[in-house]
Amino acid sequence: MNQIIEQVKQLQEASGLSNRQLAKQAGFSDGILSGLLKGTYPGNSQKYLDMLQVWISTQSEFKASLKQTLTEPNFIELPTAKRIMNLMSTAQTLSRWSMAYEGSGVGKTVAANEYQRTHSNVWIITASAFCKTSRFVLGELGECLGLRTQGMTVARMSQSIAKELDGAKGLIVIDEAQYLSDDVLNGLRILAEGKAGVMLLGNDMVRTRMSATRSKINMKPVWSRIIHPARIAEASSDDIEAYVTAWGIKDKDMIGYAKKVTPNTNGQLRTLGDVIKLSLSMAHSSGCDVSLIHMKQSFDYLTASIK
């Protein structure tokens, strides 16, 4: 009993499952599981220990299946990724601004990470609903530049960062840029002027908010510096084919199916990656080659909750 419970605890910690989620997967209530884990279950525990042993075996088989079958490709230079990276290169070379916006899961962040890996002086800052102030942006940028900004005022941070940017000919990438206000973007404009390029990545709110009537005057200085803003609503057919092929899948029917369903998902290439992983795992468990049937089953399973 102690050995089974210890294995369950280890797997639970590794997977991050709650008692309720784990118990549901094992087939009984979380109240029973809680008692078993604490060693206080009052009844005959053997039935539930047997069910936990089955759950442990299932987890082990699934992990082994993934390990044997899934070799996720490294960065793939998809047409859209190449387009985004070219915009970054232009912005960095000219110390101007550019932007790629709208579609989720089309590879904007992946392209930025690869561009940073292959180019000098590229600094990526990811904004969010919790991280969107001038202090946050300057603090993150200062950290990227190796500055110790703790305790500095915003004005002092800006001055120190401006000195570091001067002559570096770098690129500041703001991911999830829709969260930044007009004032923060204009502050970034003044900070980077003539010293670094800026690339904005995010959803359509990046453009629509910056183009709104109330922002039109404030954002005119920023828009005047933006070169060739790129609206990327969805992954292209060429993107999808190259992505599927990079996984070693050559079947034309599977590629055609991926092209058909991927643009209609919320996550696009991100969702397609999950579909391929699950398809390969299912095929391995069945002892056969991956097929269109596996892909359809995986897609239906992964998107069922959002249909």
How do residues 228-279 score in pLDDT, each as one tens digit? 999 999 999 999 999 999 998 999 999 999 999 999 998 999 999 999 998 9
Give me the pLDDT at residue 88, please. 98
Give me the pLDDT at residue 289, please. 86
Q: Where are the domains of the chain?
A: 2-69, 79-232, 237-306
How do residues 112-150 score in pLDDT, each as one tens digit? 999 999 999 999 999 999 999 999 999 999 999 999 988
Main-chain dihedrals φ then ψ at residue 16, nearest 5 degrees: 75, 15
How do residues 186-238 score in pLDDT, each as one tens digit? 999 999 999 999 999 998 888 887 887 777 788 899 999 999 999 999 999 99
pLDDT at residue 286 tops 80: no
Give me the pLDDT at residue 213, please. 75
Of residues 127 and 10, the one with the higher pLDDT is: 127
pLDDT at residue 305 tops 60: no
How do residues 29-52 score in pLDDT, each as one tens digit? 989 999 999 888 888 889 999 899
For domain 79-232, the CATH class is: alpha beta
Give domain 2-69's CATH number out of 3.20.20.70, 1.10.260.40, 3.90.550.10, 3.40.50.1700.
Answer: 1.10.260.40
Complete DSSP assignment for 163-212? HHHTTT-EEEEEETGGGS-HHHHHHHHHHHTTTEEEEEEESTHHHHHHHS
Main-chain dihedrals φ then ψ at residue 2, nearest 5 degrees: -60, -35
Give me the pLDDT at residue 103, please. 85
Is 0.85 topped by the overall pTM? no
How do residues 51-109 score in pLDDT, each as one tens digit? 998 888 877 656 555 544 456 788 889 999 999 999 999 999 999 999 999 988 999 99
